[in-house]
Amino acid sequence: MKNKISNTVQNFKFFTSNLIKRNGIKKLLNSRELFKQIEGQDPYYLSEVLDFYLYPEARKVEYKLQESYPAFNDYDYEKSTLFNYSQPWIGLSFDTLQTPYSSFLSLFEYIDHHFEIHSMVDVGAAYGRAAIVKNAVFSHVQYTGYEIVKQRAEYALKVFKNLKLHHLDMKNCSIFEEEFPLVDLYIIYDFSNDADIFKILKQLNYLSSCGQNFLIAAKGSSTIELIRDYFDNFFIIENNIDGQSDWNLYSTTNRFQKRIV
């Protein structure tokens, strides 16, 4: 059985790689099908293949970071000025650091089906996989990623430029280092420590109290638990959107779904 699964994975990688080689990665980027997960397949297999063509140097960047900085589990970044007291997750496995492409596709297709958006912010964007998938679902939407690790942000911008994608930007700073952006969708993961996540949610709560309407896509137990425990004025629209990860979608208005309890 194990050999059968292994062969299926290898065949899947071979098929996807040949498809990209025949058509060219740039021609396929506008197709949602490129990012769809095949039933029964681990989404990380697809991401591994796509990264080979989209972000071929990303893992090398991470290795160099590990040579230059201590790993997250060996150093208290929350008490260090290295990254302004934020957690950069250096040394975290690449698959854990990066959300699978198919997971972003499920999220964006759900949003595209139910809402009209024109702008989004990606907090703790790493290499900006979300921006790549966004291009296939709603290319007109302005994407801005925030990543505190300079090497990741610079490489992401290099990839965007090489792929000739539009309406994308990646900022090497905290979201609080400039005027807080007003957008239609905020993507928030467990990108740092709880204090950083709470600070952003508190700012979003303030914007909501001022009458701003927007969506929050939350992924990660810390982010979701903070919303549940402290921000009951965000309304749950959908739980576990892709059926595999813990994407929750919230709104600042109750006209869609019930209040969080």
pLDDT in tens, 63-106: 999 999 999 888 888 888 889 888 889 988 888 888 999 999 99
Check residue 20 and give its pLDDT: 65
Query: What is the Cα–Cα distance from 64 to 74, expressed in whole angstroms?
Result: 17
Check if CATH label 3.40.50.150 holds for domain 1-261: yes
Instruction: Determine the Cα–Cα distance for residues 234 and 121; give it in Å rounded to an integer.
Output: 18
Mean predicted confidence (pLDDT) in 138-154: 96
Which sequence spans correspond to the domains of the chain?
1-261
Q: Are 241 and 106 in contact (CB under 8 A)?
A: yes
Question: Residue 102 to residues 125, 128, 133, 143: CA-CA distances in angstroms?
Answer: 16, 14, 8, 18
Residue type, 57: E
Question: Where residue 238 falls among pLDDT bands split at 50, 70, 90?
Answer: confident
Q: What percent of the chain has pLDDT over 90?
A: 60
Q: Read off the pLDDT band of 8 (50, 70, 90).
A: very low
Residue for token pair 């291009």: 135
Q: Residue holding tokens 């290295």?
A: 82
192-217, pLDDT tens digit by residue? Answer: 889 999 999 999 999 999 999 999 99
- On whether the pTM is more than 0.95, the answer is no
* Closest by Cα among 156, 151, 158, 148 to 128: 156
- Provide the 3-class DSSP secondary structure of residue 124: coil
Q: What is the pLDDT of residue 14?
A: 54
- Please give the Cα distance from 196 to 85 (Å, whole number): 9
- For residue 140, CA distances in Å to 9, 30, 229 come to 34, 12, 35
Three-class DSSP category at 162? helix
Nearest to 191 by CA among 206, 175, 170, 204: 175
Closest CA to 142 of 94, 173, 177, 181: 181
**Structural tokens at position 55:** 């972000």
